[in-house]
Amino acid sequence: MVEALREELADLTASVRAFLEWHAGTGAEGLPGHPSALHEALGASPSEGALAPRRAERGFPGPEAPSPPGPRGGSAAAGAPAPHPPEQRSAAAGSPAPHHPEQRSAAASASAPHAPDPRITAGPHPEPRTTEPQAMRPPVQAPWGPEPPPRPAVSAAAAPRADTAARANAPPPGTPEERATRLLLIAEEVRTCEKCPLHEGRTHTVFSRGSPLSEVVFVGEGPGAEEDLQGEPFVGPAGQLLDKMIAAMGYHRDDVYICNIVKCRPPKNRKPEPAEMAACSPYLTSQLALIKPKVIVALGATAVQGLIGTNEGITKLRGTWKLYKGSIPIMPTFHPAYLLRQPNAKRDVWSDLKEVMRHLGKSAPDRG
Ligand code: URA
Ligand code: SF4
């Protein structure tokens, strides 16, 4: 008898708690309009939920492999769960608030119309993706994200109201705000991603930096030690050289969008495995689908491989236009880390970047 009462009380408590949690989660008191706040309101603390295949189904070896020691240094690197400073994360997610929108759009409209370039040839295409990245779907399915509400009886009454409120506050489709919001949602999904073994050794995921309104996107291989610590791509020595390359093209480092094939650091900076690249590629596909750049600069052979699936060496590939998904021109060039070891190759890279600028209708400063 006492047992039964106790159980009933426990059930009631759970019910009330579930309702309160859910109520807080829907933001039913009134939803904020700012994109990042909206992002919170949309329930963007995704877990993989039922949408993601389990580890074994993805073709990775069974039980968790021990986290490779790697030269990351410090105890934070030893596979501890990543701390989550929210400001840093949203900044890394691609500058949701562009600094100078007018300047951006002026830059975009100043560039030449996008005429087909006869030198651009289609490369082999990666396997068609069978799973659509979660964040490419309409952002508002349910305000609590992929998890079902704990108490359907309670949620049924309030859910439509919260859903409608979230929609009313969502930025209009096709606007820069909507693009930034969607990118934030993907970055948030990446932050908790465990789709490949690289998550085991990461300190931070590394999603992007720069402007989501950029006409040019630079794609690298994957985070290095410094990027893993800071949660931003190309902030180490190779990144400093990349910034100089970008400045030579007449851009500020924050004017262009920069990301990588894989979002977690491979141990000891090894090249990402094909299965890791495949697991991570839906995120890059979504990033590029939202940004729709006029040109992609692929930094190094791994970047080209991740984008179009070719195994050719970068010495052969560089300087020759390829096509991403049949539509976006790709210029393969040497990775800046290679340039740190082989400064003589800077001349080739500069020639490739000038070709990019020609394609964009930008005048190239004369640097030989
Ligand atoms: N190398 C890369 O390919 N990406 C980074 O983000 C840093 C170094
Ligand atoms: Fe997920 Fe990509 Fe990190 Fe692998 S590398 S865990 S797929 S975010």
Q: How confident is the model at residue 111 (pLDDT cuts 50, 70, 90)?
A: very low
Ligand sitting nearest the alpha carbon of 267: 2
Q: 51, 190, 206: which to mutate for ligand 2, most atoms within 8 A of CB?
A: 190
Q: How far apart are CA 317 and CA 301, in angstroms?
A: 8
Atom of ligand 1 nearest to the CA of 233: 6
Protein residue with its CA nearest to atom 4 in ligand 2 = 196
Q: How is residue 318 written in tokens?
A: 């560089």
CA 180 vs. chain centroid, Å, equals: 11
Of the ranges 40-44, 134-138, 241-245, which one carries the lowest mean pLDDT score?
A: 40-44
For residue 166, which of 149, 141, 191 has the smallest C-alpha distance?
141
Domain 174-359, CATH among 3.40.470.10, 3.40.50.1010, 3.20.20.80, 3.90.1150.10? 3.40.470.10
Identify the pLDDT of residue 86.
Answer: 35
The residue among 195, 197, 166, 224 whose CA lies nearest residue 284 is 195
Residue 289 binned pLDDT confidence (cut-offs 50, 70, 90):
very high
Examine the pLDDT at 3 and tell me if it is beyond 60.
no
pLDDT in tens, 162-181: 556 566 778 898 899 999 99
Residue-level pLDDT at 187? 98
Beginning with the edge strand found earlier in the chain, give each strand of the sheet holding 322-324 in spatial order: 209-210, 257-260, 216-220, 295-299, 328-333, 322-324
Q: Which ligand is nearest to the CA of 200?
A: 2
Average pLDDT over residues 128-142: 37
Alpha helices in 27-139 (DSSP H): 35-41, 86-92, 101-110
Q: Whose CA is nearest to atom 7 of ligand 1?
A: 234
Lookup: tokens for 294: 């006029």
How many Å lie between the centroid of ligand 2 and the Cα of residue 164? 33
Q: What digits encode the pLDDT tens for the residues 14-36?
A: 443 443 343 333 333 322 233 33
Token pair listed for 306: 């991740």
The lowest-confidence range among 111-120, 136-145, 197-206, 230-239 is: 136-145
Give pLDDT, residue 169: 78
Q: For 254-263, 340-349, 358-367, which range has the lowest pLDDT when averaged over its residues?
A: 358-367
Q: Which ranges in the chain are annotated with CATH 3.40.470.10?
A: 174-359
